[in-house]
Amino acid sequence: MESAEHAWIGDQLTLSLEDGKHKAAGFGLHIRLGDSFTYGPTITYGQGIALGGDFYGVVDQPICTAEDPQGVFREGWFQLETPFIPHERSRILGIMEVEIKLVMAAFNAGQDPSKVYEEIGDRYSIDWAFETVFRYPRLSLKNFDHFGANAVKAYSIGHGIALDEARLAANEPKGSVLRRARLERAYAMNAFADHFLTDLFSTGHLRVPRVELYDTINDKIVAGNLARTMHNEDSKYGLRVRSKQGEEWFAYGDKRLLDKVSADNRQHVTAAAQTSADEVWTAFNGGPVSEYAALKLIPDFDYLIRNPPQDFRPLFKLNDPSSKLPLRRKELHDRTGQNYVDSWNPRQTLSDLAKGAPILYQPVRCLDLESGKFLGWMSVSSSADPYLAIVPNESAAHPCVWYFHGEDLYLRKATSGGDRYLGLSYGGSAGWGLWAGQSDPLIINKDMTISLAGDPKRLLCVDRWNSGNWGGAWTDGKPNRFVIQIDLPLPVRIP
């Protein structure tokens, strides 16, 4: 996830101390031990999550592959606690605060912060590279600790160290400065570890074969960029995930945590981070912490790989023991493609990916504008005059694409026997224009709702038929109609 997203998660938590519970947002945690509360710097829990792993760690030595993983985690923590370059940490956080303000301004205004990230680009990454003497980009070359099972290991190592620190705090004299400061330090250490935990709620970190791409491709820059491309694809379009407790939800990845479509994922990641922090307090009070409960709440990436229910197939996968190089999706830009190749050129693949995708039809998620809740997938009714239907299963969705005809914009659905276009059908319903022949130009509003170009006040909304199925209509003043927000990339005009 992005720095502002990591920080947001930490800010939602509540931390238990001996004088009561404290909101983590704005609450400074001591990271060095001293004989006075005025000694040494502090960071918030959210800042700790954002800094851990991305900005502080051992270059060329991930925690997950180290002979001494505890030692590597502690060395990364020591860099954060006592930076070699004076004021480095505060300068990193200063740049981060600019990002946070931009992102939160959009979030608080009801806009999707992913649009802000599109405008930001790599602006702050360049600044952070210079502030860290290029440690920041060098850490990303072997960022194995942030993906899949390796993230679980990195989190587990750091979480265990934080729990040990909490137990040491409990052994300090009651009422002493050292007892309080050490407990705060344990929370800050745990925040560092929570970076790897929270990364597992980003869909771009669940099924990328990060280590295998690195190990089998000679040019490590190419390997990293291929991993990043798959990471970005899974992050942008999302995946349906399931926890080991059986809970299912639709999640997205980096840059999309604070988008409206990610309300469910925000609840899940916040619950996991709170569970992790609560175990620090449990350890301080002498309670048993034999199993790390937060790991039961993460998306089950093993299940995701073994039982791919996704229409979106991974760009790379590992299911052919005869090939050391991960299999590559044959059609690079078709995320629904079922075919894979075991012989491919990494440089050529990266070049082909950079050329961009052709226009592709893709399933469309429908959301309730007011609440952001997932309503279903855009589909078609079984009636003679096919109306828009909203179905619960992605397998029944009818893929769509934006289509320009002159200056007019249409929503086109892939249909056997010819494409169909969304428009105003009989009785105000939204239809696909088979018998009635409707195909109305549309307007995409800033909040990703759709209006009829000929009557912009009429918005695409939910309608309920007598049979009990959900369908689509155009608003006409009738009550109890929920305006639909759609999740489909904005159109690009093709000359």
Mean pLDDT of all residues belonging to the chain: 89
Beta bridge partners of 14: 23
Q: With a cut of 70, say whether residue 102 has pLDDT above it.
A: yes
Instruction: Please identify which residue in the block is written with the tokens 């702050």.
Output: 124
Q: What pLDDT is recorded for position 37?
A: 63
Q: Is the distance from CB of 409 to CB of 491 less than 8 angstroms?
A: yes
Q: Write the burial class of residue 324 (CB in 10 Å: 0-12 exposed, 13-18 middle, 19+ buried).
A: exposed
Domain spans of the chain? 3-354, 365-487
Handedness of CA 338, 344, 349, 350 (dihedral sign): positive
What tens digit of pLDDT does each residue of 68-87 get?
999 999 999 999 999 888 89
Q: CB of 234 within 8 A of CB of 253?
A: yes
What is this structure's pTM? 0.77
Four-CA torsion 469, 474, 477, 483, nearest 10 degrees: 70
Q: Which span out of 237-246, 383-392, 403-412 was modeled with the highest average pLDDT?
A: 237-246
Q: Please say whether the beta carbons of 471 and 464 come within 8 A.
A: yes
Tracing tokens 């954060």 back to the chain, one arrives at 80
- Each residue of 152-186: pLDDT tens digit? 999 999 999 999 999 999 999 999 999 999 999 99
Task: Flag whether pLDDT at 149 surpasses 90.
Answer: yes
Which CATH number is correct for 365-487, 2.40.30.10, 3.40.50.10310, 3.40.50.2300, 2.80.10.50? 2.80.10.50
